[in-house]
Structures are given as C-alpha cells and as structure tokens.
Amino acid sequence: METERWNLESKDARLDHQIIFDLIEPGSKVLDLGCGNGELMYILTREKNVRAQGIEVDDTAVYECVKKGLSVFHSDIETGLVEYPDRSFDYVILNQSMQEVKKADFVIEESLRVAGKIVVGFPNFAYIKSRVMLFFQGRSPITPSLPYRWYDTPNVRFLSISDFTDFSREKHLRVLTARYLDDNGEIRWLPNLRALNAIFVLAKGNDTSAAAGAGEAAGIS
C-alpha cells in the first residue's frame, strides 16, 4: 500500500529511487552515503518510517537536507563511514556515489561492516552508446547516466555491470538483488549492454546462489 501511494503521488520521482524505496524494509535503520539533497531519505522517512542518517560533502545539499528535516553529517564518505561501530544500520545506501570515491573497494567493505546489507547504484560504463562513442568516434562516452565531460566529471571510478559482478564474486559478496535500468524503465535482457544504471543489493558471504540469475544475465554481454 505504502509503495503504491508513493508511486501515485510522485510521478516525477526518479526510477532508481522508486526501486530502492521498494527494496528497503519499513522501519529499518538506513545510512545514505552521498545522500545529496536527501530526496530518497525524505521519502523513506515519510512513507516507510525508516530511521535515516545521511552523509553528504556538498554544502548546498546539506542545507537542503536540513530543510527537509533530515539528519545529515557534512563529511566525505570515507571519513564519515569509518567512525561507525559494527552493524550500526540495517542498510547502507551508496546510490550514484560509489563511483565518486577513490577507494571504492574500501567503502564497500566498510559499508558491509556497519550494515547487514548495502544497496549500490551506479552508472554502467559498458552501455552500448558508450561503446559506440569510444569505439567509432574515439571519444570519452557521454550518456544520460554519465553526462559529464572528461574535465568536469565528479566520477573517479568507471565500471561496467560485469566489472561489478566480477568484483562481488572476487570479494565473496552475496548479490541479493540486481536491477537494471534504462531511460524508460527496468530491463532484464543483456543489461551490461543495454542498461544505463544498475542497482545491487549485497550482503557478506560467499553464497552466490541468491544472485545466480542476475550474475548470468550480466555475463551474457
């Protein structure tokens, strides 16, 4: 019911936010790393009674969060994260922020220390138009999910869905959910080629059975 109500009310809501909103259990404790202006935390707090804490480095975004009545720490992700005791949260959300941190592997490891599950949303560098731009035009890709030019991008890590699937396997992370998005909605077929963005839910452990379908789908392309 809650989900439906929110979807009806917020036609302009970002699709990635809708997907993450559906994935988070009501009443859980959430740490949103790189929470931006707090849009996702706001809706989670209001509709799902989530106890949300944000960490955000941008001044203006911090003021926006405070205006929404949200709790946010003005800090970069790495230093903000390490200070938490183990298992402080049910979820850590790293949506569209992992690619902006240098030590992405460290941040994921730390996130899995402070929360049972982590939600990672990132732009797919192997999207077909990226490949075309790089291969045929010899230019750094610019796509709806990677809209920046080489000199003004906040991103420091560029990865594909297959890269991240490999990473999860190497680090013995359990992929609980994998969802893929293009401009119009969710896609299931050939995500590494066709998806602009991916959203993974990960937990610790080397049991990959939970993610068999997702892993294979990502591997096809």
Binding residues (CB under 8 A) for other proteins: these are 42, 45-46, 49, 51, 53, 59, 62-63, 65-75, 79, 83-85, 88
- SS3 call for 30: strand
Contacts of 120 (CB under 8 A, 6+ apart): 94, 95, 98, 108, 164, 199, 200, 201, 202
Question: Minimum CB separation from other proteins for residue 186, in Å?
Answer: 28
- Of 42 and 200, which CB lies nearer to other proteins in the complex structure? 42
Considering beta carbons, is residue 70 or 201 the nearer one to other proteins? 70
HSE-CB of 183 using CA atoms within 13 angstroms: 6
Residues 148 and 142: their CA atoms lie apart, in Å, by 6
Q: What does the alpha-carbon distance between residue 163 and residue 179 come to, in Å, rounded to a whole number? A: 15
Six-digit token string for 55: 């960490």
In whole angstroms, the minimum distance from the beta carbon of 75 to other proteins comes to 7
Closer of 76 and 166 to other proteins (Cβ): 76
Cα gap 98→203, rounded to integer Å: 16
Cβ of residue 73: shortest distance to other proteins, in angstroms?
5
Q: How far is the CB of 5 from other proteins (least distance, A)?
A: 13
In whole angstroms, how close is the CB of 78 to other proteins at the nearest point?
Answer: 13
Q: Residue 65 or 126: which CB sits closer to other proteins? A: 65
Instruction: Please report where in the chains the tokens 């490949």 appear, as a residue.
Output: 131
Q: 65 and 43 in contact (C-beta within 8 Å)?
A: no
**What is the smallest separation between the CB atom of 60 and other proteins, expressed in angstroms?**
10
Question: Residue 133 gets which letter from DSSP?
Answer: I
Closer by beta carbon to other proteins, 86 or else 170: 86
- Residue closer to other proteins by CB (options 84, 180) is 84
Contact between 35 and 44 under an 8 Å Cβ cutoff? The reply is no
As a whole number of angstroms, the distance between CA 221 and CA 20 comes to 25
